A and B are shown apart, each in its own frame.
Chain A
Amino acid sequence: MAKTLAQEFTKGLWEEIPPFRLVLGLCPTLAVTKSVENGLGMGIATTFVLVFSNLLISILRDVIPAKIRIACFIIIIATFVTMVELLMQAFAYPLYLQLGIFIPLIVVNCIVLGRAEAFASKNNPVYSVADGLGIGLGFTLSLGTLGAVREVLGEGTFYGMQVFGSSFEPFTFMVEAPGAFVCLGLLLCMMNLAGSR
């Protein structure tokens, strides 16, 4: 790995941005991006888990036996996810009510396990934190963007604030599940167009 620390961080923001480039973690992506707030909340929770699980797994990478590494990764990830769940209940209860079951489901989010297996278990802690932070922020950015597009079109609001006049007829298709697929596809298409230039 000849990449610099800054490159490890920034790759998560464009080159390998989930879920567009790294098409993983689609379950929360499709389910919670009904609004900007939910998207960002989910992104931040995932970032927290990514950074700390990457850090710990990287520190312990020589201690963890190869045969049971997945079990060990899951214990570490699950610990941080439960912590996020408790903290969210204590400090952001309305958001917790919105995200509900998708918070505990971060445990099985492919992005988190993917970074643990593909990156943190092979690199030093500093690089692993940079990687986790980059990928996490990229994920937050993507969920926020998706949430923004869906909320503006589907509800006519942005972060709960009215964007259009009262004559605007919300495009409710966008806040339902199929709308998430369509929106994700269109954004992916635009990113590929921009990237191919």
Chain B
Amino acid sequence: MREMIKMVIVLTLLSCCSGGLLAAVQSNTQERIDNQVLKFVQGPAIEEIMVGADNNPIRDRFTIDIEDTEKDFFVGVYDGKPNVVAFETKAGGYSGDVGIMVAVNVETGKIQGISATKHTETPGVGARVEDDEDFKNQFNGLPIGAEPQVEKDGGDIMPMSGATITSQAVCKAVQRAGDVYEKVESTIKDKISTFSG
């Protein structure tokens, strides 16, 4: 009996110490980890669509609460004016979610560019969304609320050959970006006006 109690006490104490220690490490590294994720996962996607920005869009960001979740918005400064925002939306692709970063010019309400962030699409097929510029450039200049669709669904977007489902997911993500933008357009404009180039 005494042995049993000792075992329980030792295991419990060990687990408690372990939990406490890890919680401390976690809370001290959280901010750095978030920054690293931004830099290495979302960073390249943002740089791709914010070519020629005068600032560092990854650093200049703000968050807006949308339906209880915080969403990051990245600000791009062009010609001294902070008039481009980029944010990420997701849609289900061929295997799992496809994350799409959409940059919108707030003055014209048009899409400046889109790029892929996280996805698990088939290499060589759907995964071409990473670097198929011809496909992605079709979205450039469309009004953000344009609800783009692939040809098969009655739209104008030419899908990547052999990767219709991924292409549909990209369209869906851009449509969602349109919904998000519509919902928080005024907040974005408020927040963006506090940035100076």
Tell me which of A28-36, A72-80, A141-149, A187-195 binds B: A72-80
Q: Which A residues are in CB contact (< 8 Å) with B36?
A: 89-90, 93
Is B1 on the interface with A (CB-CB < 8 A)?
Answer: no
Is B146 on the interface with A (CB-CB < 8 A)?
Answer: no
User: Would you give the shortest CB distance from B30 to chain A, in whole angstroms?
Assistant: 9
Size of interface on B: residues with Cβ below 8 Å to A: 19
When C-beta atoms are compared, the residue in chain B nearest to A73 turns out to be B14
Q: Is the CB of B11 within 8 A of A72?
A: yes
Q: Which B residues are in CB contact (< 8 Å) with A161?
A: none
A82 to B24, CA, bound (A): 12
With A93-B37, A97-B40 already in contact, the answer to whether A65 and B6 are too (CB < 8 A) is: yes
Q: Is the CB of B22 within 8 A of A82?
A: yes
Q: Is the CB of A86 within 8 A of B29?
A: yes
Contact of A93 among B11, B26, B40 (CB under 8 A): B40
Q: Which A residues are in CB contact (< 8 Å) with B21?
A: 79, 83
User: Would you give the shortest CB distance from B80 to chain A, in whole angstroms?
Assistant: 33
User: Would you give the shortest CB distance from B50 to chain A, in whole angstroms?
Assistant: 21
Size of interface on A: residues with Cβ below 8 Å to B: 21
Contact of A68 among B10, B26, B39, B40 (CB under 8 A): B10
Q: Is the CB of B29 within 8 A of A87?
A: yes
Contact of B29 among A72, A78, A89, A94 (CB under 8 A): A89
A79 to B21, CA, bound (A): 8
What 1/0 mask marks residues of chain B from 7 to 45 whose CB sits below 8 Å from any chain A CB? 100110011001001100110010011001101100000
With A65-B3, A67-B7 already in contact, the answer to whether A86 and B18 are too (CB < 8 A) is: no
When C-beta atoms are compared, the residue in chain A nearest to B15 turns out to be A75
Interface majority SS on A: helix, strand, loop or mixed?
Answer: helix
User: Would you give the shortest CB distance from A98 to chain B, in whole angstroms?
Assistant: 11
Q: Is the CB of A90 within 8 A of B33?
A: yes
Q: Is the CB of B22 within 8 A of A83?
A: yes
Contact of A87 among B3, B25, B37 (CB under 8 A): B25
Q: Which B residues are in CB contact (< 8 Å) with A86?
A: 22, 25-26, 29, 33
A75 to B11, CA, bound (A): 9
When C-beta atoms are compared, the residue in chain A nearest to B37 turns out to be A93
Q: Which A residues are in CB contact (< 8 Å) with B25?
A: 82-83, 86-87
User: Would you give the shortest CB distance from B28 to chain A, in whole angstroms?
Assistant: 9
A82 to B15, CA, bound (A): 13
Q: Is the CB of B32 within 8 A of A91?
A: yes
Instruction: List 10 A-B pairs, minimum CB-CB distance, nearest first.
Output: A93-B36, A90-B32, A90-B29, A79-B18, A89-B33, A65-B7, A86-B29, A75-B14, A93-B40, A90-B33
Enumerate 26 A-B pairs (CB-CB under 8 Å) in ascending A order: A63-B10, A65-B7, A67-B3, A67-B7, A68-B10, A72-B10, A72-B14, A75-B11, A75-B18, A76-B14, A78-B18, A79-B21, A82-B25, A86-B22, A86-B26, A86-B29, A87-B25, A89-B29, A89-B33, A89-B36, A90-B29, A91-B32, A93-B33, A93-B36, A93-B37, A97-B40
Extra contacts besides A65-B6, A83-B25 (17): CB < 8 Å: A63-B10, A67-B7, A72-B10, A72-B11, A72-B14, A75-B15, A76-B18, A79-B18, A83-B21, A89-B36, A90-B32, A90-B33, A90-B36, A93-B33, A93-B36, A93-B37, A93-B39
